[in-house]
Chains A and B, each alone.
Chain A
Amino acid sequence: MRVAFDSDRVQPLSSLAEGASGEVAEVVARASGRADRLLSFGVTPGARITVLQTFPGIVFLCDQTELAVERGVAADVLVRLRGTRTWCR
């Protein structure tokens, strides 16, 4: 048995609506140092994320940390929306 994920439901944090929640699937390292910076704030694969606000900036709760980021940064955090884990044989 292996765990697979419905890839359609993995979305960048920047595209999520207020109130959406899930867990971090991946932090894409597009800009240098950005991924490390996010990791140091606890935005790591598996961490639970809830979007608190989307305007004027993006504010989200990651585990127990409330973080405010600009849109470009949020675009690099890929979130797996809650309840989309599927078990395959």
Chain B
Amino acid sequence: MACHIVRERLAARPRLLTLRSRPLRIALAGQPNVGKSVVFGHLTGRYATVSNYPGTTVSVTTGRSLIGAEVCDVIDTPGVNTLEGAVSEDERITREALEGDRSDLIVQVADARNVRRALMLTSQIAAFDKPMVLALNMVDEALARGIVVDAPALEAALGVPVVEMVAVEGRGLPELRDALARATRPHVPALQRAGDRAVWAHELTTRVRRVSALSLARIPEALARATRQPATGLPILVAVLYALYLFVGVFGAQTLVRLLEDDVFGRGVNPAATWLAFRLVPVPWVRDFLVGQYGLVTMGLTYSIAIVLPVVATFFLIFGFLEDSGYIPRLAVFGDRLFRVMGLNGKAVLPMVLGLGCDTMATMTTRILGTPKERLIATLLLALGVPCSAQLATIMGILGGISFAALGTLFGVVVGQMILVGWLASRVLKGERSEFILELPPIRWPRPGNLLTKTRLRVWWYLGEAVPLFLAGTVLLFALDRAGLLGVIAAAGRPIVTNLLGLPESASQIFVMGFLRRDYGAAGLFELARSGQLTGVQAVVALTVMTLFVPCVANFLMMVRERGLKTGLAILGVVTPVALLTGAGLNYVLHACGIRF
């Protein structure tokens, strides 16, 4: 056996030095949340989002890496528990990435604590009959839990190089690079049935792994327990939401916004720009275009940089912390029963909570759900009710300043609508829901480095994606205003905006802005509210409608990409009337009851 391996290795060695018509393709595969994206980041120097929950990666990412003397393509794939039978969308994507000539070499990244499960996957990956390397990641966590894996014995049994790693610290990476040159086809019995593979994996594991009862991870384990037990978990949830409110709604949306908008823009940038414009630009309409009521600087930049940037930045930071701690999937334990009412299961907590970061990305995350029906309902609910980071923060910023009751009313109505629409959708739509089986990741202390990188990249992404749209929106508003169409729109919207929703006429242009980006509209409302043009009831109604209203353009395009044009339009067709009717109903009820906030 051993001699056989040596011969294979010698035969394999020159492989990396041969000339190729295209770079060697190395695919990273493995169970969810084992650190594939971390390894990918180290090999390629590209950052793939790293979090502590299964389903962070739902699409294939490719990067270049210099391995030995050769440039290779490294492919990061979504995590998979199985590659055969009824697989979900992300699992299918991985299977396709491993098949045929889309990859030449497979690195299976495995959680060293969980060799048994990893081996079950190994025997499936072996069926692709490609050279592979097994990377046992997180050996430090395994050791802390008293688990020791005999890597040489495993290497001998599988006939492929086995490397021990702590990828987040970069430990084991040189060894992995060396091992890539020695990659061989695994010698694993060809097993067809899942049951047989389980038996094989179980036997091999008992030979190569020792588990002692020792555990050094006391505090994270206690936290892991506290966050999923109802008696402690619900108070913790309330505390987390309150911390989120304090950090984003108060510190971000009030303190930072005041600083940026009033001081930096109000007293610095805008007066300076206006002064410059009057000095340098002789044409009045161009001056207006830059610094007028709908000016690029005075509106576009002020909204995007002074109002929305501080709230999304604070939100991304605290959200990244929650993602990396492993807390979010634990909410699924509480949410399961509620989500079942809506034709989903607890796993849908992941896309829903991620939607608070960005509905567009979350729409892509619906791939982790088991059935087409679930993916459709989750997409619909994301479009309907889940406010994205910028919206959420402006909501907190505006309503937090009014009263807790106002905030509670909005969330109560929105959640109620989601449950109602989800329940109806689960009745109307054909298909089934899948069963709730979710792996809960361990609670970990987030790594500051990853947290900062992730937040920085997300803020850059926001600047790159949202700011141009804010500017484009401002140009559009400017053009509409010049052409006298803004008045026409306001007049056309009056029956709905003023009569039905009871909002001031100026609110109709905010809904035009909201079509473009919801946070742009929310920023407009923020301005109205701060200048005292909205009563408490009007603020609640306007924000409720804005939250339930059509998603932003990017989210719509993502819905079309993931679900098709027909479904995308159908979702819009459901969401718009629901939003307006809910707003009208809320306006009526609040007035009838004489509630003022």
Query: Which residue numbers of A lie inside 8 Å of B, CB to CB?
Result: 31-42, 44-47, 52-53, 55-57, 59, 63-70, 72-73
Contacts and interface: CB of A to CB of B under 8 A. Distances in A.
Nearest to A44: B198
Contacts of B194: 35-36, 39-40
A40 B116 CA distance: 10
A69 B120 CA distance: 21
Interface residues of B, number: 42
B117 interface: yes
A42 B436 contact: no
Contacts of B147: 64
Contacts of B81: 37, 40-41
A52 to B, nearest CB: 7
A34 B334 CA distance: 22
B113 A64 contact: yes
B296 interface: no
B563 interface: no
A34 B86 CA distance: 10
B333 interface: yes
B85 interface: yes
Interface of B is mostly: helix
A40 B439 CA distance: 11
A25 B116 CA distance: 17
A55 to B, nearest CB: 7
Contact of A68 (B197, B230, B440): B440
A55 B201 CA distance: 32
Interface string B429-464: 000000111111110000000000000000000000
Contacts of A70: 336, 340, 345-346, 435-436
Contacts of B441: 66
A63 B198 contact: no
B370 to A, nearest CB: 9
A53 to B, nearest CB: 6
Nearest to B201: A44
Contact of A57 (B111, B202, B436): B436
B68 to A, nearest CB: 34
11 contacts: A36-B85, A39-B120, A41-B81, A42-B117, A52-B225, A63-B114, A64-B114, A65-B117, A68-B346, A70-B436, A72-B435
Contacts of A32: 86
Contact of B120 (A40, A53, A73): A40
Contacts of B111: 64
Contacts of B336: 56-57, 68, 70
Given A67-B439, A70-B435, 6 more contacts: A37-B437, A40-B81, A40-B120, A45-B195, A59-B228, A67-B437
B561 interface: no
Given A41-B81, A46-B202, A57-B336, A66 B442 contact: yes
Contacts of A63: 114, 116-117
Contacts of A68: 228, 329, 332-333, 336, 346, 436-440
Interface string B110-151: 010110110011000000000000000000000001010000
